[in-house]
Amino acid sequence: MNIFKLSIKNLFYRPLSSLLSLLLLALGVSMISLLVLINSVVRDQMNNNLKGIDMVVGAKGSPLQLILSSVYHIDSPTGNISLKEARSIEKNPMVGNSVPLLYGDNYEGFRIVGTNEKFIELYNLSIENGSFWDNEFDVVVGKKIATKLNLKVGDTFVSSHGLNQTGEVHADSPFTIVGIANFSNSVADQLILTSAESVWGIHEEHDHDEEHDHDEEHDHDEEHDHDEEHDHDEEHDHDEEHDHDEEHDHEEEHEHDDDKEITAMLIKFDSPMNVIQFPRYINENTNLQSAVPSYEISRLFKLFGFGIETINLLAYLIIVVSGISIFITLFNSMKERKYDMALIRTLGGSRLQLSSMLVYEALTLTISGFIIGIILSRLGLVFISNLMESSFNYSLNSYGILNDEFWLLAISILIGLIACLIPSIQVYKMDISKTLSNE
Amino acid sequence: MIKTKSLKFSYDGKKYFDFPDINLDSGENLLIIGNSGIGKTTLLHLLAGILKPESGSIGISGTDISKFSDTELDKFRGDNIGIVFQKPHFISSLTINENLKLAQYLSPSKTSGDAKKILESLNIKDKYRQKPNQLSEGEKQRASIALALINSPGLILADEPTSSLDDFNCDNVIKLLKKQAKDHRAQLIVITHDARLKKHFKKNLNL
């Protein structure tokens, strides 16, 4: 038996008030810790997927939606853009690298993305099993999907139209899995990758009628621009009209190609300075929309920021209340326990031992409350991760102790020390003679 | 051997208690008897080192404790003095055995007695694992005697151990105290207003 064991026994002797203090602290700690965790995990995930993407070009709409759909693959796309327009942007000297993205279908809720080998470079993908796609309807599936749906190289599946599992099934053109990608800890883990041609192929009949008119409008605008530039450059050229015709011919020939659409294009600039000029140039001079992911994401965090701050404040308030509860528990128990304490002194215990008993009690409550809180926050993260997994196919996994949590531990200990300060001073000063005579 | 000389004490600096000298050879017990309000408990607290005297000396086994610091007093008390209170006190969160273990922990320098043996000699061995509030009043009193004896003190101080007991139990308790003191080679000082105890002691001191 020693003073620390005595403190533990004392806590168990008053189980309800101990439990209340413990729960309050655990609740406060778990709330803050969960917020810190989610914040850090989400930020990590977001930033990890942002690597190498300076700008996204897509159809007009909400820039945040464009980023969420084409960088994080969680929202629906803003619409499609013509391949021709996308190519003209690609040719701009400011553009360093560009990756086309083409949506259309899903398999079991996982998005099928039509793209090219540049996507593989962007996310640094490697193949664990099999190879990258060669032919139409060859696909490479992300590691997470392969694990979850138990897919192997050589398996075939039919996709459903749209991004929901409930879409119409394209039973006539099944996909064949030719490769399974290694885990890349990026969004690519939850995507099914294929060539753009595969996605065009599957929707050829559908899209032809639907969006033809729209395309033509686009074409006209662009032609107009072209003409102007052309005129300017070659003012004195007598073959001007001839050139024009040729261009038209050229377009006629490739009409099939120009009809084609992509959903978005991820762009990396050669020089970081271009991030300032180029997006504005696109938004002002074309029918396309450009969005800068880092800017949109910081805007998103700002939007969430207010809510997070409020919950944070509430959680700290709960921790303070738990401190007050510990104080009241100790203070009340002092009255009940004054003979116990006088007895400890008569048995040879010192003032310091008596005070340390109360300090141990307070610290045991706060530290175990902290540990319970940390465990609760991890359970909470598992829960939220499962929730995100089922709705967005996104998962959060990082269960290590973060720096902020060491601060939280320090704060918990401080609260415990403050709560036991007055009781332990009173016990230290206790007049045992008076206490014992009052019996 | 207990010797006090010209012991003087005051709570407020106005009213002084002057106590007669005590001279007790080893092996001798003492009954201090007096009415309420005369300073009986004050004297017991002085002897136990719970209070410090205004002047005078308190010698217990050859050590003058009147000039000791608080910490020295706590340690000396734990090692050398066992106190039996009128109303038995325990650490309520601990079992009887744990209470005895705690007493041993609080005075580590002392080779202490065997908890089980002491409880057996007091006929409460079966209460070993019980919490104090599960014991009857009589058992509590015997357990508190065990607590006073556990560190084999040289001096046992008993404060009104019999005042609330009937004649039969009064006799039993005082005989038990005397026997236990003798068995543990401790001196017993009983402080009381209970005149029934006079016949049990050779040496009486009237306050």
Question: Same domain, yes or no, for A282 and A393?
Answer: no
Are residues A247 and A319 both part of a single domain? no
- Interface contact A15, partner B, CB < 8 A: no
Instruction: Give the pLDDT score at A253.
Output: 41
On whether both A93 and A210 belong to a single domain, the answer is yes
Q: Which of A337, A346, A439 sits opposite B77 (nearest CB)?
A: A346
C-alpha angle A31-A35-A36 in degrees, rounded to nearest 5: 115
What is the CB neighbour count within 10 angstroms for residue A371? 14
CB-based contacts of A223: which residues, under 8 Å, 6+ apart? Answer: none
Nearest residue in A to B103, CA atom: A347
Distance from CA of B26 to the nearest CA of A (A): 23
Q: What is the pTM of this model?
A: 0.73
Q: Which two tokens stand for residue A174?
A: 């099944």
A336 vs A25, A341, A436, CA distance in Å? Answer: 24, 10, 13
φ, ψ dihedrals at B67, nearest 5° = -105, 10
Domain extent, residue A287, equals 55-291
Helix or strand run (H / E) with residue A58? strand A55-59
Q: Per-residue DSSP letters for A338-393?
A: HHHHHHHHHTT--HHHHHHHHHHHHHHHHHHHHHHHHHHHHHHHHHHHHHHHHHHS
Of A245, A268, A291, the one marking the end of a domain is A291
pLDDT exceeds cutoff 70 at B6:
yes
CB neighbourhood size of B164 (10 A): 13
Q: In terms of domains, do A352 and A219 share one?
A: no
- Comparing CA positions, the residue from A166, A156, A171, A163 lying closest to residue A202 is A171
Single-letter residue type at A248: H
pLDDT tens-digit readout, A205-229: 444 444 444 444 444 444 444 444 4
- For residue A298, being part of any structural domain is answered with no
Residue A342 lies in a domain: yes
In chain B, which among 145-174 make CB contacts under 8 A with chain A?
147, 151
ipTM of the complex: 0.90
Q: For residue A406, is pLDDT > 70?
A: yes
Phi then psi for residue A105, to 5 deg, are: -125, 170
Say if residue A147's pLDDT is above 80. yes
Predicted confidence band at A417 (pLDDT cuts at 50, 70, 90)? very high
Q: pLDDT at residue B9 above 80?
A: yes
What is the Cα–Cα distance from B190 to B204, expressed in whole angstroms? 10
Confidence band (pLDDT; 50, 70, 90) for A4?
very high
Q: Which residues contact A289 (CB under 8 A, 6 or more apart)?
A: A57, A58, A59, A60, A61, A63, A66, A78, A282, A283
- Residues B84 and B177: their CA atoms lie apart, in Å, by 9
A264, A291, A318 — which closes off a domain?
A291
Query: Rounded to 10 degrees, what is the CA torsion of A41, A46, A50, A55?
Result: -160
Taking the CA of residue B18 and the nearest CA in chain A, the distance in Å comes to: 18
Optimal mutation site among A346, A353, A358, A361, interface B, most CBs of chain B within 10 A: A346
How far apart CA A301 and CA A295 sit, in angstroms, is: 10
* Same domain assignment for residues A38 and A82: no
Q: Which of residues A229, A257, A291 is at a domain's end?
A: A291
Is the distance from CB of B93 to CB of A17 less than 8 angstroms? Answer: no
Kindly state the DSSP code that residue A182 receives in the 8-state scheme: P
pLDDT at B32 over 90: yes
- Which of helix, strand or coil describes residue B126? helix
CA separation, residue A418 to residues A6, A205, A213, A322, B81 (Å)? 21, 73, 73, 12, 36
Tokens for A361?
Answer: 């009690």
Could A439 and B94 be called an inter-chain contact, meaning their C-beta atoms sit closer than 8 Å? no
pLDDT value of residue A245: 45
CB-CB neighbors (< 8 A) of A342 in chain B = 89
Contact B77 A342 (CB under 8 A): no
Using an 8 Å CB-CB cutoff, list chain A residues near B91: 6, 9, 340, 343-344
B93 touches chain A (CB under 8 A): yes
Give the number of A-B residue pairs with CB atoms closer than 8 Å. 82
| Residues of chain B with C-beta less than 8 angstroms from the C-beta of A8 | none
Q: Hey, is the C-beta of A372 within 8 angstroms of any chain B C-beta?
A: no
Best mutation target among B11, B87, B93, B149 (most A Cβ atoms within 10 Å) is B93
In 3D space, the residue among A108, A190, A95, A178 whose CA is nearest the CA of residue A145 turns out to be A190
The set of residues, in sequence order, having a beta carbon less than 8 Å from that of B50 and lying 6+ positions away, is: A345, A346, A432, A433, A436, B73, B77
Q: Looking at the complex, does the CB of residue A434 fall below 8 Å from at least one CB of chain B?
A: no
User: Residue A111 pLDDT > 60, yes or no?
Assistant: yes
Q: Output the CA–CA distances (angstroms, integers) from residue A357 to A171, A217, A345, B96, in the order listed.
A: 74, 82, 12, 19
Of B85, B92, B106, the CB nearest to A348: B106
Look at A439 and B101 and tell me if their CB atoms are within 8 Å. Answer: no
Residue A171 contacts residue A134 (beta carbons within 8 Å): no
pLDDT tens across A21-52, in order?
899 999 999 988 888 888 887 777 777 778 78
Give dist(CA A133, CA A117) in Å, integer.
9
Cβ distance of A439 and B104 shorter than 8 Å? no
* Closest to A341 measured CA to CA, from B16, B73, B106: B106
- pLDDT of residue A204 exceeding 80, the answer is no
Q: Indicate the residue type of A168.
A: E
Question: What would you measure as the largest C-alpha separation in chain A, in angstroms?
Answer: 121
Domains and CATH numbers, chain B: 2-206 (3.40.50.300)
Q: How many angstroms separate the CA atoms of A270 and A292, rounded? A: 15
**Whether residue A93 sits in one domain with residue A232:** yes
C-alpha closest to that of A354 among A437, A425, A417: A425
Distance, in angstroms, between B10 CA and closest chain A CA? 13
In the block, tokens 């401790």 appear at: B186
* CA gap B177, A367 in Å, rounded: 46
Residue A414 pLDDT grade (very low, low, confident, very high; cuts 50, 70, 90): very high
- Give pLDDT, residue A241: 44
CB atoms within 10 A of CB B66: 18
Distance CA A69, CA A162 (A): 13
Q: Is the pLDDT of residue A84 over 80?
A: yes
Full DSSP string of B57-120: EEEETTEE-TT--HHHHHHHHHHHEEEE-SS----TTS-HHHHHHHHHHHSTTS-PPPHHHHHH
Average pLDDT, chain A: 81
Q: What is the nearest CA distance from A377 to chain B, expressed in angstroms? A: 33
Q: What is the rounded distance in angstroms from the CA atom of residue B142 to the CA atom of residue A368?
A: 38
Query: What's the mean pLDDT in A272-286?
Result: 83
> CB of B46 within 8 Å of any CB in chain A?
no
- A351 CB neighbours in chain B (<8 A) are 70-71, 74
Question: Which residues are bridge partners to B2 per DSSP?
Answer: B24, B60
Higher pLDDT, residue A282 or A399? A282
| pLDDT reported for residue A225 | 45
Same domain, A220 and A181: yes
For residue B100, the chain A residue with the least C-alpha distance is: A1
* Total count of domains within chain A: 2
- A30 Cβ partners below 8 Å, 6+ apart? A372, A373, A374, A375, A376, A377, A380
User: Which tens digits make up the pLDDT trace of B117-170?
Assistant: 888 888 888 888 999 999 988 889 889 999 998 888 889 999 988 887 888 888
Structure tokens at A193: 């990758």
Instruction: Look at residue B134 in the predicted model and tell me its pLDDT.
Output: 92
The Cα A427–Cα A355 span in angstroms is 6
- Within 8 A of B98 by CB-CB distance, chain A residues are 1, 9
Question: Is residue A275 pLDDT above 90, yes or no?
Answer: no
In this predicted structure, what is the pLDDT of residue A247?
44
Check residue B203 and give left, alpha or beta (phi > 0: left; psi -120 to 50: alpha).
Answer: beta
Which residues on adjacent β-strands are paired with residue A177? A139
Q: Say yes or no for a CB contact (<8 Å) between B105 and A339.
A: no
Mean pLDDT of A292-299: 87
Residue A185 belongs to some domain of the structure: yes
Q: Percent of chain A, pLDDT > 70?
A: 84
* Residue A120 and residue A239 in one domain: yes
Beta-strand pair A95-107/A264-269: antiparallel
Token reading at A266: 């991820």
pLDDT number for residue B155: 92
Quick check: B105 and A1 CB within 8 A?
yes
Contact A10 B101 (CB under 8 A): no
Nearest-CA distance from B93 to chain A in Å? 5
Farthest CA pair distance, chain B: 51
- Examine residue A347 and state whether it is found in any structural domain, yes or no: yes
Does residue A300 sit within a domain?
A: no
- CA of B45: which chain A residue's CA is closest? A433
Query: Is position A255 within any domain?
Result: yes
- The percentage of chain A sitting over the pLDDT mark of 90, rounded to a whole number, equals 17
Domain co-membership, A287 together with A406: no
Write the pLDDT tens digit of every residue in B78-101: 889 999 988 888 999 999 999 999
Q: Which residue has the tokens 């009949």?
A: A205
Query: Shortest Cα distance from B114 to chain A (angstroms)?
Result: 15
Closest CA of chain A from B144, distance in Å: 11
- Is A437 within 8 Å of chain B by CB? yes
Q: Does A64 lie in the same domain as A20?
A: no
- Shared domain for A236 and A152, answered yes or no, is yes
In terms of CA atoms, which chain B residue is nearest residue A8?
Answer: B93
Mutation target vs A (from B54, B91, B99; most A CBs, 10 A cutoff): B91
Is residue A297 in a domain? no
| Rounded Cα distance, A303 and A387, in Å | 21
Among chain A residues, CA nearest to B109? A348
Q: Chain A partners of B103 at a C-beta cutoff of 8 Å?
A: 347-348
Same structural domain, A326 and A258 = no
With CB atoms and an 8 Å threshold, state whether A436 touches B78. no
Chain A interface disruption, residue of B89, B133, B157, B164, most A CBs within 10 A: B89
Number of Cβ within a 10 Å radius of residue A192: 26
